[in-house]
Amino acid sequence: MKKVLVLGSTGSIGINTLNIIRSLPGQFKITALMVNTRIDLLEPQIEEFNPECVVVKEEKPAAELRKKLKGKTEVLSGVAGLSAAASECDYDIFVGAMVGSAGLAPTIQAIKRGKRVALANKETLVVAGELVTQLAELYGAEILPVDSEHSAIFQCLTGENINYVEKLILTASGGPFLNKTKADFLNVTIEEALNHPNWKMGNKVTIDSASMMNKGLEVIEAKWLFNIHQDKINVVIHPQSIIHSMVQFVDGSIKAQLGLPDMKLPIQYALTYPERLKNDYQRAYLPSIGHLTFLEPDLDKFECLKIAYSALQSGGSAPCVLNAANEIAVDKFLKGKIKFSKIPYIINKSLEKIDHHTKPDLDIIFQCDRQTREFAAGLT
């Protein structure tokens, strides 16, 4: 039985992870759960899975939970608590599902212990891809992707020689604004931006999908996951979200991984790899799907994707600045403080203002992250 720590257990990936573990009795045991603030959702998870410890990132809800549990379960708090649990709890698999750069420090602790990291947190590799992959090699840790696109590429590459890869093809749904013009972005509402046509995700990830920043982050993540040059990473819009991504080889052959838009399959694959365990998930029936379409992304309209490619080209700490500025901009939009069209503006201004470091260490990365957030918070 494999022991599992879930970072972000109350988000969509975390909840799906727990659903998978329920459906595979005897395969896994939950030993630690970590959340930002949602103790209302965490409490029933504690009751059901009886973890050794839990972490609540924000101190106020953590204190509230301690009073309720009355010492029955250890409750840690803060970024220090996240890192402490990752470095001290007993587990075999670390599921990194907490959105944002807060997931970086505990993920590094898991890597330093040589654990399997089932990574759904894009920001870890976006912010510190070179450092994280070097540490994984040094400590013998596995990083297995949970994002459906990277899982698809990982599955397509199984048994293949990376030197025979001509390009990776990340698919994108195009989000809710595929058929809108750039001028329309001036007037879109929060509700419209959160109305994704295919996927049910958390608010931040859904807004990233609407701006196509999620695909920009995935391009950066793919570079580090698969140790491949950015010129070999392409994006194609595929509105049906049935093909999750593809690999084209030097002989012209293309391998694709298909399935319904459901995160349970890539999560299960990361948990059980190299095995494929039988499940009862709904199957894709191709005749009912009927047709699959593909489009080039409009980089003028979806400016965030273009900015992400540029930040990857710049390298160093530029992706860290990109990520931090985007997090602040998305939060401002969700709170009604800026228009949707202002998101790329805030990211560009931050990239212009914050110094770029060519070979950042972890301290510099955290410094860049903090400086960017402070600067971006003052933009409107």
What integer pLDDT is reported at residue 101 of this predicted model? Answer: 73
DSSP 28: E
Neighbours of 348 (CB within 10 A): 16
Q: Which of 50, 54, 49, 51 is nearest to 20 (CA)?
A: 49
List, as one string, the DSSP characters of 142-177.
Answer: EEEE-SHHHHHHHHHHTTS-GGGEEEEEEEE--GGG
CATH number of the CATH domain containing 52: 3.40.50.720
Decide if 343 is inside a domain.
no
**Spatial separation of the C-alpha atoms in residues 177 and 192, rounded to whole Å:** 9
Containing structural domain, residue 202: 161-260+297-314
Residues 130 and 174 in one domain: no
In this structure, are 188 and 132 located in the same domain? no
Residues 68, 171, single domain; the answer is no
- Report if residue 26 sits inside a domain: yes
Q: What DSSP string describes 256-306?
A: EEE--S-THHHHHHHHHTT------PPPP-HHHH-----B---TTTSHHHH
Specify whether 177 is located in the same domain as 303.
yes
123 shares its domain with 10: yes
Which of 118, 145, 172 terminates a domain? The answer is 145
306 and 174 in one domain?
yes
The verdict on residue 71 lying in a domain is yes
CA-based nearest residue to 5, from 120, 96, 99: 96
Say how many domains are in the chain.
Answer: 2
The per-residue pLDDT string of the chain (380 residues; one tens digit each, 9 = 90 and over) reads 999 999 999 999 999 999 999 999 999 999 999 999 999 999 999 999 999 999 999 999 999 999 988 778 899 999 899 999 999 999 999 999 987 777 889 999 999 999 999 999 888 999 999 999 999 999 999 999 999 999 999 999 999 999 999 999 999 999 999 999 999 999 999 999 999 888 777 899 899 999 999 999 999 999 999 999 999 999 999 999 999 999 999 999 999 999 999 999 999 999 999 999 999 999 999 999 999 999 999 999 999 999 999 999 999 999 999 999 999 999 999 999 999 999 999 999 999 999 889 889 989 999 999 999 999 999 98
Please check whether residues 75 and 167 belong to one and the same domain: no
The reply to whether 118 and 11 lie within a common domain is: yes
Residue 59 exposed, middle or buried by CB count within 10 Å (0-12, 13-18, 19+):
exposed
Together in a domain, 22 and 141: yes
The answer to whether residue 226 is domain-embedded is: yes
pTM: 0.93
Judge if 202 and 307 occupy the same domain: yes
